[in-house]
């Protein structure tokens, strides 16, 4: 956790890629590569500290526990394919665990207490601190995903996917200003409240009537990295980086 001086809090809940040895030993070789990590988002958002933002980044992979899912594992997208609190399947549809090695309910409960709860306690405490100083706070959820994931959505994902839970987690004025930035550029495709409207964190903490705006940005990874090797692309990333920075500057 980095505590900043601006009314902006950047949360990167899927940036972690570490696996405890006992969990990794039960996973398939493909899953141990943690392919569904939001690769390099900490690098993309490194500028946020320069803007004075607070930043929180986890150590462990979403395969250990998904910090952007509710603790009771209620589906965020009823009727659509998705992955759960302690995922059993990868975004490819392939299994995370070797046969018979999936975590039982009591293990899931322990993971919630050991990994999920501390992250959310820290989120709540920092939101309260920033709001006490500035009277308002913008919680920015930074995410990324492969541009083509048939298990989750049809076709290619737009480059920028802005989510405000259909406008419920963010003031209309801020959403309009952010949308205006995306409309004014022609390099990247975008959608507002499309397939990714905002996960648990956006829904849980967004309270625009009380001065807490929460926004999720899901970026298509093809614009800044190689989606197969997971390597950062130094030639592609700067342009994406610049537009993302402009969005966060609007929040401040």
- Establish if 2 belongs to a structural domain: no
What is the pLDDT at residue 78?
Answer: 57
Q: Tell me the two tokens of residue 233.
A: 């692309």
Q: Is residue 1 in a domain?
A: no
Residues 6 or more apart whose Cβ sits within 8 Å of residue 80: 152
3-state class percentages of the chain: helix first, strand second, coil last, to nearest 5: 35, 15, 50
Q: Alpha-carbon distance 246 to 243, whole Å?
A: 5
Q: What is the DSSP string of 86-131?
A: S-SB-TTS-BSB-TT-SPPHHHHHHHIIIIIHHHHHHHHHHHHHHH
Residue 156: per-residue pLDDT: 94
Q: With the C-alpha atoms ordered 47, 116, 204, 92, is the resulting torsion angle positive or negative?
A: positive
Annotate 43-65 with DSSP letters as a single string: HHTTHHHHTT-EEE--SB-TTT-
- Split the chain (252 residues) into runs of 10 and give each run's mean pLDDT: 97 97 97 97 96 98 96 68 83 95 96 97 98 98 94 91 97 97 96 92 97 98 96 93 96 94
Which structural domain, as residue segments, surrounds residue 167? 8-251
Question: Is 25 exposed, middle or buried, given 0-12, 13-18 or 19+ CB atoms closer than 10 A?
Answer: exposed
Alpha-carbon gap, residue 4 to 236, rounded angstroms:
28
Q: Which pLDDT does position 82 carry in this prediction?
A: 65
209: domain CATH number?
A: 3.40.630.40
Distances (CA, A) of 235 to 156, 223, 231, 241: 21, 10, 12, 11
Residue 196: per-residue pLDDT = 87
Query: 37 and 43 in contact (C-beta within 8 Å)?
Result: no
Query: Which residues 6+ apart lie within 8 Å of 3 measured at CB?
Result: 54, 126, 129
Q: Which residues pair with 154 in a beta bridge?
A: none
Task: Retrieve residue 70's tokens.
Answer: 């509710």
* 51 in a structural domain: yes
Token code pair at residue 76: 């965020």
Q: Count up the domains in the chain and report the number.
A: 1
The answer to whether residue 3 is domain-embedded is no
| pLDDT the model gives residue 77 | 60
């Amino acid at each position: 956790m980095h505590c900043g001086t601006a009314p902006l809090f950047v949360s990167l809940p899927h940036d972690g890629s570490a696996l405890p040895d006992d969990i990794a030993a039960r996973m398939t070789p493909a899953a141990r590569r943690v392919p569904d990590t939001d690769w390099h988002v900490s690098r993309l958002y490194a500028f946020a500290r320069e803007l004075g933002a607070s930043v929180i980044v986890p150590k462990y992979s979403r395969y250990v526990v998904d910090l952007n899912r509710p603790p009771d594992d209620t589906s965020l997208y009823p009727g659509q394919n998705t992955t759960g609190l302690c995922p059993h399947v990868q975004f490819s549809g392939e299994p995370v665990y070797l046969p018979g090695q999936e975590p039982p309910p009591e293990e899931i409960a322990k993971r919630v207490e050991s990994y999920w709860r501390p992250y959310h306690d820290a989120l709540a405490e920092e939101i309260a601190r920033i709001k006490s100083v500035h009277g308002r706070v913008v919680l920015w959820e930074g995410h990324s995903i492969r541009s083509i994931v048939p298990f989750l959505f049809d076709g290619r994902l737009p480059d920028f996917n802005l989510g405000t839970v259909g406008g419920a987690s963010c003031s209309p004025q801020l959403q309009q200003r952010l949308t205006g930035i995306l409309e004014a550029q022609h390099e990247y495709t975008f959608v507002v409240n499309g397939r990714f409207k905002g996960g648990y964190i956006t829904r849980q903490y967004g309270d625009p009537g009380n001065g807490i705006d929460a926004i999720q940005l899901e970026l298509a990874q093809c614009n800044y990295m190689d989606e197969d090797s997971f390597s950062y692309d130094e030639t592609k990333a700067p342009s994406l980086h610049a537009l993302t920075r402009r969005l966060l500057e609007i929040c401040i």
